[in-house]
Amino acid sequence: DAGVIQSPRHEVTEMGQEVTLRCKPISGHDYLFWYRQTMMRGLELLIYFNNNVPIDDSGMPEDRFSAKMPNASFSTLKIQPSEPRDSAVYFCASSEDRGPTNYGYTFGSGTRLTVV
Amino acid sequence: AQSVTQLGSHVSVSEGALVLLRCNYSSSVPPYLFWYVQYPNQGLQLLLKYTSAATLVKGINGFEAEFKKSETSFHLTKPSAHMSDAAEYFCAVSEGGDTGFQKLVFGTGTRLLVSP
């Protein structure tokens, strides 16, 4: 298995532009998570899905952020409009349905977003 | 709610020395505990996990951690540091038991520096 695949690896955009981050989870994993990592705030859980359904989006910072999972093999995190304070590394992770806490999460390599 | 505290944002050791990274947890129910490692420009990788079986848990790359309920601790150790161990290490906790899915809560991370 190729693991959790995220694209792009790096994204530089201007303030006000729309940014879309993509994630392909491991086949057969029923949970998908989006995290944001910054020096100031560490790892923050933004949202997670179970069987393509958003379960908890309480970590989404504001309405500029939205996430979708149209099918079991694809998810997007969109920021519109983007702001410099959104600059961070965004990670996607997936986990199996049966006792996900027993198996741990598998993380992608992340997308480093820079908003100028 | 569960939480973890990692003491020391940076730990420096010499190659061949003992590695000790500290993690204390807070949980109202028996926890599941995890250590993850993040190498530069990569995602988080599961190092080891405690899920209420043996209190001494062995992980990859020679690391191990011991669950001590009386001290609410889950410290990570390695007898002899290698240069390749230089990375950031995250402790994480979730509720244990058959309570359904429980998301992981991560600590703020400890950066391990290894000098020749």
pLDDT digits (tens, 9 = 90+) for B33-82: 999 999 988 889 999 998 877 889 999 999 999 999 999 999 999 999 99
3-state secondary structure of B10: strand
Task: Encode burial over A22-48: b for 16+ CB neighbours within 10 A, e otherwise.
Answer: bbbbbeebbbbbbbbbeeeeebebbbb
Give me the count of residues in chain B.
Answer: 116
Q: Is the pLDDT of residue A98 over 60?
A: no
Q: Percent of chain A having pLDDT more than 70? A: 93
Alpha-carbon distance B19 to nearest alpha carbon in chain A (angstroms): 22
Q: Are B88 and B112 in contact (CB under 8 A)?
A: yes
Alpha-carbon distance A45 to nearest alpha carbon in chain B (angstroms): 8
pLDDT digits (tens, 9 = 90+) for A82-96: 999 999 999 999 988
| Identity of the residue in A93, A104, A107 whose CB atom sits nearest the CB atom of B34 | A104
**What's B40's DSSP letter?**
T
pLDDT digits (tens, 9 = 90+) for B7-23: 989 999 999 999 999 99
CB-count exposure of residue B46 (10 Å: 0-12, 13-18, 19+): middle
Residue window 34-93, chain B: list those with CB within 8 Å of chain A: 34, 36, 41-46, 49, 51, 90
